[in-house]
Amino acid sequence: MSSTVSVFVSTQQPNQSAWKSSTAAILGEQGATIYLGENEADNIRKIQKAGRQLDSMGVKSVSLQGDGWDIERQWAFSNGFTDTLTKNQINWAGATEQLQQLRETAAWIRQLINLPPNEIYPESLANQVADKLTGIGGDAVTVRSVVGDELVAEGRMGIHTVGRASKRAPVMLVVDYNPSKNTDAPVDAVLIGKGITFDSGGYSIKSSEGMLAMKCDMGGAATVAGALVHAIQQGLQKRVQLVLCCAENLIDGSAYKLGDIITYKDGQTVEIVNTDAEGRLVLADGLIYAGEVNAPLIIDAATLTGAAQVAVGTEYNALFSVDDALAQSALKIADEQRELLWRLPLNQWHKDNCPSAFADTANSRPQKGGGAGGASNAAGFLLRFAPNNGAGWLHFDIAGAYNNSANGMWPAGATALGFRTIAATLLK
């Protein structure tokens, strides 16, 4: 076998084969062949599985050969043929620049999420994202970081409350991409990302097993940052602001406790009944900010609830919105981008599903996992803070952001699933 393995796709099924029919890629003298059927969705899935198969066999370099390799098929193979550290090499069959750009952006997102928590913390996350976007957007990008007690001065009480127990200060990062460079230009969209760089659960502490992967709890921040990178590379001409809500949810004598009440900048009060339901607390500050700049489109992304993963598994992301037209548009875009997305229930009355006798709302229900409908109730909490009663707002609970171990579709670690859909929504 040469140092680079040739990979072909074919619609002609082999007459005889020593390989099982369920095998994604069959190896022969010329290289590997992926035999496709009539259903393109099934083909895309099989191609990604073939990429995983070759990676698991130790192949580190491939060349996609022959006819039949359109962009989406090549991208599916790329997603599968990616080891955790993104060292594998692909010689593309066409659209090389576009695909290489996509692969590099996805690798950057995955790298951020996969970094150990001793390397990625609120200020380092903010700095890496700011440097990346400044490098991509040049003088069209301005950056502002609100750090530590500055958050209190600006009324960003959710981020400060969650992050104040860590020696590493919480941060609210605002990146303003303004291609017109007109300071009076309206903000067309705000992207908001949950940037919990490590989540111990706080005093509602997680088990050791449940805590192991919690470096990935900033997956929402990495995903929306990568989406903006990709949109800019694709020629985005709208003014878009990126807001990352960054904190470590740790424990010391100053940590927030069960029964504490947070008063937000908009006057809403929240009773803490679960310190492990912290993501919604920091995102609330981002949603309030989006209302302050009057953005007509608001998209947030977060590894928010285990309930969303229970509902849709790890191969889909979950979508919530009370704006039906916008939600349907997002689902259509996700289908075009070959990213699996499923809409889960959200109504205005979900805002009241976490009642409190002592505040306007609690941050969860005092039950394991937030009780029945936990993902919708978490989205309902966010809806309280979304401007215009949720018109123009999309919430992505990115259940598919991270895998604890390799599977038939993805390597261990981050997937970057969702960034293409969000970028395409901005570009529409």
Beta-sheet strands, E only, within 224-359: 240-249, 261-263, 269-271, 297-302, 317-320, 341-343
Band (pLDDT 50/70/90 cuts) for residue 20 is confident
Q: Which of 77-86, 113-122, 288-297, 419-428 has the lowest mean pLDDT?
A: 77-86
- CA atoms 180, 181, 186, 187: torsion sign: positive
Torsion of CA 317, 322, 326, 327, to 10 degrees: 30
The predicted pLDDT at position 226 comes to: 98
Active site residues: 206, 280
Instruction: Tell me what the pLDDT averaged over the chain comes to.
Output: 96
Q: Is the pLDDT assigned to residue 296 strictly greater than 50?
A: yes
Query: What is the average pLDDT across 271-299?
Result: 98
Say how far apart CA 379 and CA 346 lie, in whole Å: 7
pLDDT tens readout for residues 391-402: 999 999 998 899
Q: Per 3-state DSSP, what percentage of the chain is helix, strand, and coil (rounded to 5)?
A: 40, 20, 40
Amino acid at 383: L
User: What mean pLDDT is predicted for residues 8-25?
Assistant: 88
Exposure of 61 by Cβ count < 10 A (0-12 exposed, 13-18 middle, 19+ buried)?
A: middle
Q: What is the mean pLDDT of residues 342-350?
A: 98
Average pLDDT, integer, range 242-269: 98
**CATH superfamily placement of domain 108-427:** Zn peptidases (3.40.630.10)
Measured at the CA of 61, the angle between CA 55 and CA 67, to 5 degrees, comes to 95
If you search the block for the tokens 């230009």, which residue do you land on?
185
pLDDT of residue 2: 58
pLDDT on residue 1:
44
> Is 90 exceeded by the pLDDT of residue 235?
yes
pLDDT tens digit sequence for 316-328: 999 999 999 999 9
What percent of the chain is modeled with pLDDT above 90? 93
Which pLDDT value is given to residue 19? 87
Predicted local confidence at residue 86, as pLDDT = 75
User: What's the whole-number mean pLDDT along residues 266-273?
Assistant: 98
Q: Average pLDDT, stretch 14-24? A: 84
Please state the pTM of the whole predicted model. 0.97
For residues 97-136, one letter each, b for 16 or more C-beta atoms within 10 angstroms of the residue's C-beta and e for the rest, the string is: eebeebbebbbbbbbbbbbebeebbbbbbbebbbebbbeb
* Helix-helix angle 71-80:40-56, to 10 degrees: 40
Confidence band for 115, pLDDT divided at 50, 70 and 90: very high
15 has pLDDT over 50: yes
Residue 50 Cα to chain centre, angstroms: 24
Please, which pLDDT band fits residue 284 given cuts at 50, 70 and 90? very high
What pLDDT score was predicted for residue 368? 77
Domain boundaries, the chain: 5-94, 108-427
What mean pLDDT is predicted for residues 74-90? 93
- 373 close to 353: Cβ distance less than 8 angstroms: yes
Half-sphere exposure of 398 (CA within 13 A, CB side): 31
Q: For 119-139, what is each residue's pLDDT tens digit?
A: 999 999 999 999 999 999 999
